[in-house]
Structure 1
């Protein structure tokens, strides 16, 4: 990379996270969304927007324990899903249209549930708003798996933060805190692996597609050996 070329890691990023009623992207609903526009390391360089949404269904106790939002609180204080998610999708599409990458940790889940919610509500999906596949995307989990393939142990956001020695300044599983933590992880990976920082967004997006496919195929092989259904989606980000 020449001295005059700016890495994507030094340019604006849009972090994204959802908290939901559960893990079924086809049947569960979004409860909170956070978008964090970041122009550099540190919270002082972040502009945070959050949405609390009434999912119009009970939030199961396990989900409440994860993100701390009760059914009663969401009903009393949440926005209508159509209004909130239309705002979210419009902002994401605007950002992607400017080649500002969308950054998340395990983004396939967040994108899948958002696209399904938009469809359910009769709103244009992100893909429809963009007129093409959702890109550029940066997934901290996928990149970590790709560049450090054989590292043992779990790769939850908490685990990856610990691996890179990053201390968090808030409660994880609060959408905005998770986004800030993910941005920290992505910057740490780029600092440790110069090839990641030097990649163009187009190349990095393509590499993530391959890294995810390799991981998913390995998981499906393992599931098959265990006599389980090999149901890990090999496509990324959707």
Structure 2
């Protein structure tokens, strides 16, 4: 871990790379990427956004299309082949990591796990293998639960934007969500010294521990709540990516 440099500006005042995926469903292991965005913002520079639409090669369920607005027909007509999209997204994120820019992703374990499985599915070298140990992730979901663990209500990106007074135009649009995640992370870091004053190395490691603790707390809640006991088995504390399991299907 790098030593803190008190003369360096806080990480949240530098460049941030928001990352978001809209997909065919809620499983990061089984479902597929439909749209993705990597948006660089902050650091006194203009916003630079790259977006992709993929033909996932499978039907997009109506429930998913109702959320992000991309039907199977549209994805087939306008989307690029999934392997091409996955490779370009990995390349874009690799470039941000190489530049020392943190990847900001709401509920990062979902998006990064899906990108990882899609890469393996399509013969693309996964981000974690390309970036190695240089990947630094900032997850507004983990940060919010750490700084305000007892707040009632949901904690979707829309909810966090409302709570932290961050504009969100077009929820469930990958570009809008990626930019909003950066803004929420900025809000949290600018008002909580433990987070804002940490180096990216320190913050990444702290989030690994916080995510594990949060998962353990959620699993305990499910185990102790009548009718929800079985949900405890599916709670994972892996962060920022769920390791691949041998039994996973492609």
Q: TM-score, normalised by structure 2?
A: 0.89
State the shift of 1:121 in Å.
0.4
Unaligned runs of 5+ in 2: 242-250
Distance 1:4 1:234 in 2: 34
Whether 1:81 and 2:82 are equivalent positions in the alignment is yes
Residue 59 of structure 1 aligns to a residue in which SS?
Answer: coil
Whether 1:33 and 2:43 are equivalent positions in the alignment is no
Matches within 5 A, 1:137-152: 137-152=137-152
Residue 238 of structure 2 aligns to a residue in which SS?
Answer: coil
Whether 1:97 and 2:101 are equivalent positions in the alignment is no
Q: Corresponding residue for 1:47? A: 48
Q: Corresponding residue for 1:228? A: 230
Q: Corresponding residue for 1:127? A: 128
Residue 233 of structure 1 aligns to a residue in which SS?
Answer: coil
Whether 1:161 and 2:161 are equivalent positions in the alignment is yes
Pair 131,5 (structure 1): closer, same or farther in 2 beyond 3 Å: closer
State the shift of 1:211 in Å.
1.1
Residue 202 of structure 1 aligns to a residue in which SS?
Answer: helix
Unaligned runs of 5+ in 1: none
Residues 29, 55 of structure 1: 8 Å contact kept? yes
Residues 128, 135 of structure 2: 8 Å contact kept? no
Residue 22 of structure 2 aligns to a residue in which SS?
Answer: strand
State the shift of 1:127 in Å.
1.5
State the shift of 1:207 in Å.
1.0
Residues 16, 33 of structure 1: 8 Å contact kept? yes
Query: Which of 191-200 and 53-62 deviates more?
Result: 191-200
Residue 110 of structure 2 aligns to a residue in which SS?
Answer: helix
Residues 34, 50 of structure 1: 8 Å contact kept? yes
Residue 33 of structure 1 aligns to a residue in which SS?
Answer: strand
State the shift of 1:12 in Å.
0.9
- 1:165-197 C-alpha deviation (Å, 9 max, x unpaired): 2232x2100000001111110111112112211
Residues 12, 190 of structure 2: 8 Å contact kept? no
Q: TM-score, normalised by structure 1?
A: 0.93
Residue 204 of structure 1 aligns to a residue in which SS?
Answer: helix
Residues 55, 74 of structure 1: 8 Å contact kept? yes
Distance 2:98 2:218 in 1: 34
Residue 52 of structure 2 aligns to a residue in which SS?
Answer: strand
Matches within 5 A, 1:171-210: 171-210=170-209
Runs (4 or more) in structure 1 with deviation over 4 Å come to: none
Whether 1:213 and 2:212 are equivalent positions in the alignment is yes
- 1:7-46 C-alpha deviation (Å, 9 max, x unpaired): 11111111100000001122110000000011348xx831
Residue 13 of structure 1 aligns to a residue in which SS?
Answer: strand
Q: Corresponding residue for 2:14? A: 11
Residues 96, 135 of structure 1: 8 Å contact kept? yes
- 1:127-174 C-alpha deviation (Å, 9 max, x unpaired): 111233x72100011011111112121111111111112232x21000
